[in-house]
Amino acid sequence: MRTSADIPADIAARARQLREQIDYHNYRYYVLDDPEIPDAAYDRLFRELQALEEQYPALVTADSPTQRVGAKPLKAFGEVRHEVPMLSLSNAFSDEEALEFGRRCAERLAIPVEQIEFTTEPKLDGLAISLLYEDGRLARGATRGDGYVGEDVTQNVRTIRSIPLRLRGEPGKDLPRVLEVRGEVYMPKAGFEALNERQRAAGEKPFANPRNAAAGSLRQLDPQVTASRPLAMYAYGVGQVEAGELPDRHSAILARLRQWGLPVSPEVRDGVRGIEACLAYHRAMKDKRPQLPYEIDGVVYKVDRLDQQEKLGFVSRAPRWAIAHKFPAQEALTRLLAIDIQVGRTGAITPVARLEPVEVGGVTVSSATLHNEDEIRRLDLRVGDTVIVYRAGDVIPKVAGVVLSRRPPEAKPFEMPKKCPVCGSDIVRLEGHAIARCSGGLYCPAQRKEAIKHFASRRAMDIEGLGEKLVEQLVDRDLVHDPADLYALTVEQLAGLERMAQKSAENLIAALEKSKSTTLPRFLFALGIREVGETTASILAEHFGDLKAIEAADVETLQAVPDVGPVVANSIYTFFRQPHNLEVIDKLLAAGIRWPKVAVKKPEALPLAGKVIVLTGTLQGMSRSEAKQRLQALGAKVTGSVSKKTDWVIAGTDPGSKLTKAQELGVEVLDEAGLMELLQQG
């Protein structure tokens, strides 16, 4: 083993320099939210340091940015006694209660409330953390526990990238020798959704909400597990401080924390005078809540001046100088009345929870998707159960869990029906598949309705005026069995339907006539072949040039098309082998559907032929699916996960773990400007 004496001075100096640079770029990225260099350049610095440390293990220091993971799993967490207790906040659930808080402060300080300055902050929905820095180095991380004694989660905290391992500044000079930072560890919404997808795919129980996911991830005995979870942290205060002066205002302390390299929420406002202004902040944050990348369950008002805080003091376990003004809850308890079965266009069976209506976050919820049979089993959901309903921002409501203690004794486990509730055909679930399907095909009215709705939809045949209710009537009254029957409808038949006047019937006939002139990609998409979305439809059209060639293609020929894998190829092949599908197509063509000739594009001639691209994060100029479509149209293969074969990762804002993966593998990362450059090659 080499010792530090063996390390050449220039190597040691380079390692120090690399660490400083990496720390600096972490600060730009996590604290200022303003990275200075592209991710790929950051990654080069990181890998250079890793290589040096590998060559000279004696170079490794505990606070090296390379040392975030690696600790061994623990048997149990140690105990940590908080020198300064970690208190909680009193809550206000209405404007009136917040005003009351202001009046109490004003009375005790003997000044009008309008003269009190507050700092207003988001109330992050995660779990409290205490971070102890000694001589600027992260020495210990602890949970709140009961406020007096918490758990030592140092190894786990070290894996959270937004938590600096070393503070900026000189201990004893501009940095206290001992500084305990308090903050909230949370899981961003996108990371939470992705984690739950992974949990489901692995057959494990999804987390009920981002708070539980954050807590469950931080309290892992194996730091490697924590490292794989998308956790982040915002600081909101300090605890113990030794040998160092802090400013005399809370807002200035937060500013100081930022300078030292700790992330503080950019939503924090200072100099907010009086409670009315605090209430305005509450309203603004409530509106902003769905757009925030993380969950908040309210806002916090804190008297800014520390001398005033001191005067106000504490009641039992909460300060009198602060209050959490909560938003309406995102979670509620209600009863599961029934589990209904919905049949989708492709026969997919989705169980849906029918709930006793309940208000969640200001919206009445009476149903929630249950994904599939396995999800019901994982949650052990039974009709009659009291369930936790969770709704975050604009996300569809979910059943997050069951209150087992309130389960009625007669409640029975859910059994997936064997027959389709709509057409009575067998429900089949192939081995290894999560989704069960009705085997009735277009015989099943539910599938027929969905197939016709899809056929008529804007991005398919774009038949204006053929809405959902109308399709249901047409199928229920046996006027339409398949999409081709639409073109045989008459004004008289239509005018006889509910909510149809002569004029609207005439308009619909005109819209049907107009829809006959279409494009091959639209027509292909409209057929509703499983796995064939708009993009694949376009690619197929451009590759084969006409419908007959696609119909005739065997699985191998189909797989030679860019972006068509075995599953898609099989689905297309099978579709065109069903006599009733061919009949419908013949009827449609006989009705006069036509499209302009398509020029066949040779895939190898496309500018991005052979390139493998992964998209992550939010793009400003276009949706991810549009970007995907445009890249594919230029011949690129757009995949969902980063590997050594990936040529570029395109990262928008709030990129996920794909970016980290790209950095690890040394894959080139492009920003949105880089994407635009690629697209201009077309």
Residue of this chain nearest to ligand IVH (CB atom):
128
Pick the stretch among 120-128, 173-181, 411-419, 521-529 that binds ligand IVH (CB under 6 A): 120-128
**Distance in Å, CB of 116 to ligand IVH, minimum:** 17
Q: Which is nearer to ligand IVH, 186 or 207 (CB)?
A: 186
**Distance in Å, CB of 299 to ligand IVH, minimum:** 8
| 49 in contact with ligand IVH (CB under 6 A) | no
Q: Which of 128, 466, 494, 636 binds ligand IVH (CB under 6 A)?
A: 128
Give residue 41's Cα distance to chain centre. Answer: 27
3-class SS of residue 566: helix
Q: Which is nearer to ligand IVH, 105 or 402 (CB)?
A: 105
Helix axes 657-665, 39-55, angle to 10 degrees: 50
| 285 in contact with ligand IVH (CB under 6 A) | no
**Distance in Å, CB of 234 to ligand IVH, minimum:** 8
Pick the stretch among 56-64, 122-130, 335-343, 518-526 that binds ligand IVH (CB under 6 A): 122-130
Quote the Cα angle for 284-288-290, to 5°. 145
**Distance in Å, CB of 181 to ligand IVH, minimum:** 12
Q: Which is nearer to ligand IVH, 315 or 567 (CB)?
A: 315
| 319 in contact with ligand IVH (CB under 6 A) | yes
The sign of the CA dihedral 92, 95, 99, 102 is positive
Burial of 556 from C-beta contacts in 10 A (0-12 / 13-18 / 19+): exposed
Q: Which is nearer to ligand IVH, 215 or 337 (CB)?
A: 215
Kindly identify the residues of this chain, within the stretch 166-195, that bind ligand IVH according to CB under 6 A: 184
Tokens 């990654």 label which residue? 43
Q: Which of 27, 133, 236, 523 binds ligand IVH (CB under 6 A)?
A: 236
Q: Which is nearer to ligand IVH, 315 or 560 (CB)?
A: 315
Give the C-alpha separation, 578 to 451, whole Å: 16
Pick the stretch among 49-57, 123-131, 154-162, 508-516 that binds ligand IVH (CB under 6 A): 123-131
Q: Which two tokens stand for residue 309?
A: 């805080």
Q: Could you tell me how many residues make up the chain?
A: 682
| 373 in contact with ligand IVH (CB under 6 A) | no
Give the C-alpha separation, 345 to 391, whole Å: 26
| 124 in contact with ligand IVH (CB under 6 A) | yes
Give the C-alpha separation, 93 to 537, whole Å: 52
DSSP 290: G
Q: Which residues pair with 651 in a beta bridge?
A: 616
Cα separation values, 622 from 468, 612, 630, 651, Å: 29, 20, 10, 13
Q: Which is nearer to ligand IVH, 56 or 321 (CB)?
A: 321
Q: Which of 25, 82, 123, 325 binds ligand IVH (CB under 6 A)?
A: 123
Residue from 252, 258, 265 nearest 307 by CA: 252
Kindly identify the residues of this chain, within the stretch 79-98, that bind ligand IVH according to CB under 6 A: 87-89
Residue from 558, 561, 589 nearest 575 by CA: 558
Q: Which residues pair with 402 in a beta bridge?
A: 387
Tell me phi and psi for residue 298, to 5 degrees.
Answer: 165, -165
Q: Which is nearer to ligand IVH, 112 or 314 (CB)?
A: 314
| 255 in contact with ligand IVH (CB under 6 A) | no
Give the C-alpha separation, 208 to 124, whole Å: 17
Tell me phi and psi for residue 236, to 5 degrees.
Answer: -135, 10
**What one-letter code names the amino acid at 104?**
R
Kindly identify the residues of this chain, within the stretch 141-160, that bind ligand IVH according to CB under 6 A: 144
* Cβ atoms < 10 Å from Cβ of 4: 9
Q: Enumerate residues 6+ apart whose C-beta is below 8 A from 60.
A: 53, 66, 67
| 322 in contact with ligand IVH (CB under 6 A) | yes
Q: Which two tokens stand for residue 622?
A: 């276009």
Tokens 């340091």 label which residue? 49
Q: Which is nearer to ligand IVH, 132 or 588 (CB)?
A: 132
| 214 in contact with ligand IVH (CB under 6 A) | no
Q: Which is nearer to ligand IVH, 208 or 324 (CB)?
A: 324
Give the C-alpha separation, 396 to 580, whole Å: 36
Q: Which two tokens stand for residue 67?
A: 């040392």
The sign of the CA dihedral 406, 408, 409, 414 is negative
Number of residues that bind ligand IVH (CB under 6 A): 15
Candidates 72, 75, 123, 302; catalytic one: 123
Whether 82 contacts 140, CB under 8 Å: no
Active-site residue flag, 123: yes
Q: Which is nearer to ligand IVH, 69 or 87 (CB)?
A: 87
| 121 in contact with ligand IVH (CB under 6 A) | yes
Which residues of the chain form contacts with ligand IVH (CB under 6 A)?
87-89, 121, 123-124, 128, 144, 184, 236-237, 300, 319, 322, 324
Catalytic residues: 123
